[in-house]
């Protein structure tokens, strides 16, 4: 990303939070996953046919008729209260920790500080079968009495052609994709965070025309309505972080994006801004959008932002507050790990491609 305050996020992110590789090589003696787990193709993301779904498939596919979404009931209260967050056993951090545990137990123990925490799974064009990816991971979480969290990151013109460039080609492609995700939930409890950076990048560098900006906001609102057709789905819209645009700017963009119909908004996805700063920022936004609740990504903000607000692999960053739904603040539903620590922001400061697990960074963050 070229925006210095940009979280890329999560995941703020850029391809850093991304995971564009469509397949992964598991190096023989090592279980190190080369594909980023934010959108990678581990067993959890692309399960084999041998692990069949427990539901009869209602996958609407990519080319059927598009059914208009209907407005969901008004969301109230804290939907995360009492929710057990799911730990992905196939995350890159977990696979890497397990692969070195016998020979390098001290390093594995450090990686466990990341691997054993619940973290969101990123969804995008890298998922070969989005319906099965969502369905499978929800089933894995349910088997443990937990709830999976997903980040939808696939809007047309994603990241304005910068480090996380990609996304689906047209609005209709995106609508089909979201409807497949919604169908895969089977009304099970699930958490969604919609489109990191999408509203933060509006009117930035003139990367989107007025028509494209309007389309983007309409697509996010459509996604809110479609996903919340499941009465057990919890949906937050990404709203940048405290070092980006002023609160009133984000508030005005959240309104046409459907904040009134979502469960709230998300802050700091893939960024490093402190929880305290984002709390104050979030409360300003909330007051401007009818008292909406919010969540904060604390995965990498333990040391706060870099001095120059650098977003791409700034050195010296640390993991933050462990994920929890107990916040003691009536407006904050949870402190979640939305960006997966240890996955590169991009080829900068010595890092590999965006989304690839970088063990040196992971160890530095978790020590």
Catalytic residue positions?
159, 197, 345
Pair 276, 302: CB distance under 8 Å: no
Cα dist from 94 to 20, 43, 71, 91, 270, whole Å: 20, 13, 39, 5, 19
Angle at 12 between CA 224 and CA 215, to 5 degrees: 40
Identify any residues that bridge with 186 across adjacent strands, giving them in sequence order: none
- Spatial neighbors of 275 by CB under 8 A, at least 6 apart, are 268, 296, 298, 301, 320, 321, 335
* 289/229 Cα distance (integer angstroms): 22
* 273/12 Cα distance (integer angstroms): 10
Query: Which helix (H) or strand (E) is 335 found in, with range?
Result: strand 332-336
Nearest to 121 by CA among 141, 96, 148, 156: 148
* 338/118 Cα distance (integer angstroms): 9
Helices 105-115, 92-100: crossing angle, 10 deg rounding? 160
Nearest to 353 by CA among 318, 314, 312, 316: 312
Q: Which residue has the tokens 């020979």?
A: 103
Angle at 45 between CA 43 and CA 51, to 5 degrees: 55
């Amino acid at each position: 990303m070229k925006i210095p305050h940009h979280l890329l996020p999560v995941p703020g992110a850029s391809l850093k939070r991304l995971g564009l590789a469509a397949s992964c090589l598991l190096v023989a003696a090592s279980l190190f996953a080369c594909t980023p787990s934010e959108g990678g193709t581990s067993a959890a993301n692309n399960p084999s046919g041998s692990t069949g779904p427990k539901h009869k498939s209602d996958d609407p596919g990519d080319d059927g008729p598009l059914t208009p979404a209907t407005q969901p009931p008004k969301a109230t209260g804290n939907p995360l209260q009492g929710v057990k967050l799911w730990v992905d056993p196939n995350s890159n951090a977990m696979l890497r920790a397990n692969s070195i545990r016998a020979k390098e137990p001290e390093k594995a123990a450090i990686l466990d500080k990341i691997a054993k925490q619940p973290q969101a799974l990123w969804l995008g064009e890298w998922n070969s079968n989005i319906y099965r990816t969502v369905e499978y991971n929800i089933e894995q979480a349910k088997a443990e009495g937990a709830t999976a969290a997903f980040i939808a990151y696939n809007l047309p013109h994603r990241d304005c052609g910068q480090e996380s460039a990609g996304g689906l080609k047209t609005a209709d492609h995106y609508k089909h994709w979201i409807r497949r995700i919604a169908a895969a939930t089977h009304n099970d409890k699930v958490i969604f965070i919609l489109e990191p950076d999408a509203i933060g990048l509006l009117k930035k560098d003139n990367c989107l025309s007025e028509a494209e900006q309007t389309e983007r906001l309409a697509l996010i609102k459509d996604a809110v309505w479609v996903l919340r057709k499941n009465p057990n789905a919890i949906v937050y819209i990404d709203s940048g972080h405290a070092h980006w645009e002023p609160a009133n700017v984000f508030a005005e963009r959240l309104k046409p994006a459907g904040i009134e119909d979502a469960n709230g908004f998300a802050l700091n996805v893939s960024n490093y801004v402190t929880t305290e700063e984002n709390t104050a920022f979030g409360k300003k936004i909330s007051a401007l959008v009818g008292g909406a609740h919010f969540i904060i990504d604390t995965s990498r903000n333990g040391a706060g932002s870099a001095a120059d607000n650098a977003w791409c692999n700034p050195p010296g960053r640390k993991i933050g507050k462990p994920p929890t739904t107990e916040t003691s603040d009536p407006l904050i539903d949870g402190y979640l790990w939305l960006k997966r620590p240890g996955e590169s922001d991009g080829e900068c400061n010595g890092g590999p491609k965006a989304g690839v697990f970088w063990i040196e960074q992971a160890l530095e963050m978790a020590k």
